[in-house]
A and B are shown apart, each in its own frame.
Chain A
Amino acid sequence: MDLRFGDSKPTDEERAAVDALLGPPESSWEGADRSDADLRWARGGREARNRRDLLLPGLHAVNDRVGWISEGALDYLCRRLTVPPAEAYGVATFYAMFSVRPRPATVLHVCTDLACTAAGAAGLCADVESRLAPGSGVQVERSACLGLCERAPAALAIRAGETARPAFEDEARPGPQGGPGAQPPGEGNGKGRRGRTTQRSTAVCAPATPDTAVRAATAPETAPPEPPPATAVPQAGDPALTLLRRVGTADPADLDDYRAHGGYTALRRAFALGPAGVIREVTDSGLTGRGGAAFPTGRKWQATASQPDHPHYLVCNADESEPGTFKDRVLMEGDPYALVEAMTIAAYATGAHRGYLYLRGEYPRALRRMEHAIGQARARGLLGDDVLGQGYAFDIEIRRGAGAYICGEETALFNSIEGHRGEPRSKPPFPVEKGLFGRPTAENNVETLVNVLPVLTMGAQAYAAIGTGKSTGPKLFCVSGSVARPGVYELPFGATLGELLRLAGVRDNLRAVLLGGAAGGFVRPDELDIPLTFEGTREAGTTLGSGVVMAFDDTVPLPRLLLRIAEFFRDESCGQCVPCRVGTVRQQEALHRIADRTGDGAADDIALLREVGRTMRDASICGLGQTAWNAVESAIDRLGAYE
């Protein structure tokens, strides 16, 4: 490789940020001062290039410390990792949370996506922008879905600085009864922390008012604290729950409490069954992937386990970025050890000794919780060289996303971890054969993995008895929009849309329900008897997707919502293939043209949309382009959006 680095030098701060991650450089070949010895040896080559997967953490390190990534910082990072600067520049400019231009240390992301738009995000944005004018030291960015739909509208403040390492202690630990209301607003935030040097570097603000959003950005210690995770679970405490039963009842920071609530019995059973036994059990349970594709989990694990190539990897996809989806966040915040245990089981079954948890960058609390849980599990011998004394080695590494919906696509996620642009790969080969680092990889979504625990504790038969014949087990639904009690609901597969909406307190004048998120489809209020199963929704000509149920009443302007969906796909397209890169733009343009038109005035553009949509669905490389037209098409066909 013929590498050339520019003349730009990193500042001391940038250098310190990179060195804190990678350790001090060993020679002038990777950025240290030149010594006599450096003239006689060269370090680099394969060994250094093999650390390319530290590029994304390195970019985060600089961005966390300085707030943006300068030429000098990028060049220094490239020198340390033997990455060509052009490629690193391509990676840095791919993610929404990074900037390669100078910007203030504090960035306030204000969500403008579906649930937040319906809850008045436009007004919030305008108000916040007027109060935080340029020069205020805060940059306001209109952001894609922040995954806080149950508390819309939402904002997230991120402040760069030396102490920007997210600390676990910066929020009150909910007690065992930490349900709704356990933590009065205004308390538990400043207590015990005043005078500490650790400043809060991220502040989640939802529901946000102009006042609280501005305070979160300018004086985070005065902003109201984030409510405990259980507030997102209206059913919290219900003994009938399976997946959510510990959210709000067990302390998410306490491993012993997790064990007292039944934690680690599934892993013990897994060790008793052996890897093949676990796969048999998971296959018999009929568990299918909950990320949206509904692929049989047992088959995926079997295919990975049987690959002769080694090592095998396990990847947990926690890059939940589908507008309207927040269940993985609630699971990780409310029951983090469950995910650690489930990942251990999945790795054991598929023969992996290393697992990557790819967590979206917009989830600061889930990140802290998972870091804490993994650290505790490691300290107690539940991760590491000898898990539970069974002679099985497994450890988990967290990788933080940096704002790219596309990285939830399984192969784009691999590229992102490996330090490349998060562009999807073409399949075949499939991940079970050539996945992360070109090795056999089992990739599962958070909810899918957490389902493995009841499969093993209840047994496959009892688990399969829940739900319907083809869709087995309990399912999480993210209900938001025009309902009285938005949040994550757990129901057995087969409950109807109407039952779920009644549970969440749907209001009268319901106009439409979006099923499956921006990549899903709309259904009418007279279709509420659709059974919430994979086969039931398919029969009804729609999709269950990742379990999004977003209700919109007749006050929500439908054309604007569709335009927002089109904007979302335009912004989030990686740009690799033509149907998606240009198609999403043409879709948005056409919707813009017909925003206020109906009938004949819209007919030409609707015909155009259909042609482009059909091509996007047929010819795009990955699911993003293939589904970008779904919601709009369903709004036209089922809701008569432009009639």
Chain B
Amino acid sequence: MTVTPLGIPRRLLEFTLDGEPVRAPEGSTILDACRAAGKDVPTLCEGDTLTPKNACRVCVVEVEGSRTLVPACSRRAEPGMEVRTGTERARHSRKVVLELLASSVDLSTTPRVAGWLKEYEAKPDRFGPDAARVDEEPRVDNDLYVRDYGKCILCYKCVDACGDQWQNTFAISVAGRGFDARIAVEHDAPLTDSACVYCGNCIEVCPTGALSFKSEFDMRAAGTWDESRQSETTTVCAYCGVGCNLTLHVQDNEIVKVTSPHDNPVTHGNLCIKGRFGYQHVQNRD
């Protein structure tokens, strides 16, 4: 069980969501209100413990009086606002954004995208066989991480997690511009020559699998990765006294990766190199 701290009481504000009056705590976003009302608005770059970057634009909704569509993940609800989530205009933009993404990168390991592509009738192939894609070989330069640029949608979550929002290491940033923009470490060096401290928090937040554990990457390559055969057990890390929670993903009695619950009030999903990667001793049976 995780403990959810009670915050300062917040006033409720009232606005209209798809014609229905709704009440949401002051400071909540349109997306929060949508979720509370049971509406499914797709998101990719939004992260539960990070400040929304609103870069992916799949969560756009229509707000009365706004010239353009607004990103639900970052726009705060205001009293009296009239929000519509399922209009033709919003659905069209979501469809095309999904098409643009799916036509430029590999979304095969992105959870839920296949369903959204179907729901919005997106046809990524219609840009033609010559449409520019980010087709790059995965970069495997160490034993812990793999960086697969062919799956990166530039959601900035890893940059924020490595930077001032989680880890404060600032080892990665976005380099270049436009379609050529890439997540990179300094001088686009191998990870081993960078400031990376291998906490793996960027993997924790990556929504597409562009950043992955070497263990997962190898098993996928070998065709042995099977989430249906995996169980998850949350326990306490034994390395030090902080008490971070670890979720062990176990397949066939082997730990295959370690994540951390985001609703944990101590760590919010953060771990260090030992907690995230130092699990081999557990399965050393000698």
Contacts and interface: CB of A to CB of B under 8 A. Distances in A.
A84 interface: yes
A590 B100 CA distance: 13
A587 to B, nearest CB: 10
Contact of A611 (B74, B96, B101, B180): B96
Interface centre among A421, A576, A582, A585 (most CB of B within 10 A): A582
Interface string B103-132: 110000000000000000000001110111
Given A575-B179, A582-B104, A615 B97 contact: yes
Contact of A4 (B100, B154, B163, B195): B195
A608 B170 contact: no
A93 interface: yes
Interface in A571-607: 571-579, 581-586, 589-590, 593
Contact of A85 (B56, B97, B153, B186): B186
A253 to B, nearest CB: 37
A2 interface: yes
B168 interface: yes
Given A89-B187, A426-B74, A578-B57, A589 B131 contact: yes
Given A2-B168, A86-B172, A593 B179 contact: no
Nearest to B57: A619
Query: Which 10 pairs across A and B sit closest by C-beta, in order of nearness?
Result: A84-B170, A575-B181, A85-B186, A90-B173, A582-B100, A615-B96, A4-B195, A573-B178, A619-B93, A86-B173
A404 B177 CA distance: 10
B169 interface: yes
B41 interface: no
A176 to B, nearest CB: 44
Of A90, A584, A589, the most chain B CB neighbours within 10 A belong to A90
A157 B1 CA distance: 66
B266 interface: no
A73 to B, nearest CB: 11
Nearest to B180: A575
Given A85-B187, A612-B96, A94 B177 contact: yes
A577 B96 contact: no
Which of B55, B100, B168 is packed against the most chain A CB atoms within 10 Å? B100
A86 B184 contact: yes
B223 interface: no
B68 interface: yes
Interface in A1-52: 1-4, 6
A420 to B, nearest CB: 10
B128 A593 contact: yes
Given A84-B170, A575-B181, A586-B100, A611 B92 contact: yes
Given A2-B169, A3-B195, A618-B60, A94 B176 contact: yes
B54 interface: yes
Interface string A417-444: 0000100001000000000000000000
A564 interface: no
B177 A618 contact: no
Contacts of B131: 586, 589
Nearest to B187: A71
A400 interface: no
Nearest to B54: A426
Interface residues of B, number: 54
A615 B93 contact: yes
B50 interface: no
Interface centre among B68, B130, B153, B154 (most CB of A within 10 A): B68
B194 interface: yes
Interface residues of A, number: 51
B97 A6 contact: no
B127 to A, nearest CB: 5
B207 interface: no
A329 B58 CA distance: 40
21 contacts: A71-B187, A74-B187, A84-B173, A87-B163, A93-B176, A93-B177, A421-B173, A579-B100, A581-B154, A581-B178, A582-B100, A583-B96, A584-B178, A585-B179, A586-B127, A589-B130, A608-B126, A608-B127, A615-B93, A620-B57, A621-B57
B67 to A, nearest CB: 9
A578 to B, nearest CB: 5
A317 to B, nearest CB: 20
Nearest to A96: B177
A352 B39 CA distance: 46
B188 interface: yes
B175 interface: yes
Contacts of A89: 173, 175, 184-188
Given A6-B189, A578-B100, A581-B154, 16 more contacts: A4-B171, A4-B194, A6-B186, A6-B193, A74-B186, A84-B170, A89-B184, A93-B176, A578-B101, A582-B100, A586-B103, A586-B127, A611-B92, A612-B96, A617-B68, A619-B97
Interface string A96-138: 0000100000000000000000000000000000000000000
Nearest to A580: B178
B139 interface: no
B12 interface: no
Interface residues of B: mostly helix, strand, loop or mixed? Answer: loop
Contacts of B163: 84, 87
A373 to B, nearest CB: 32
Interface string A554-575: 0000000000000000111111
Contacts of B97: 578-579, 615, 619
B89 interface: yes
Nearest to B179: A585
B198 to A, nearest CB: 12
Given A90-B184, A426-B54, A589-B127, A582 B68 contact: no
Contacts of B54: 426, 577, 621
A571 B175 contact: no
A618 B154 contact: no
Interface string B80-92: 0000000001001
Nearest to A616: B96
B174 interface: yes
A116 B101 CA distance: 34
Contacts of A576: 55, 154, 156, 181
Contact of B168 (A1, A573, A619): A1
Given A582-B100, A589-B128, A612-B100, A573 B187 contact: no
A573 B154 CA distance: 14
Contacts of A615: 92-93, 96-97, 100
A626 interface: yes
A10 to B, nearest CB: 14
A524 interface: no
Contacts of A578: 55-58, 97, 100-101, 153
A577 B127 contact: no
A614 interface: yes
B69 interface: yes
B236 interface: no
Contacts of A611: 92, 96
Interface in B125-177: 126-128, 130-132, 153-154, 156, 163, 167-177
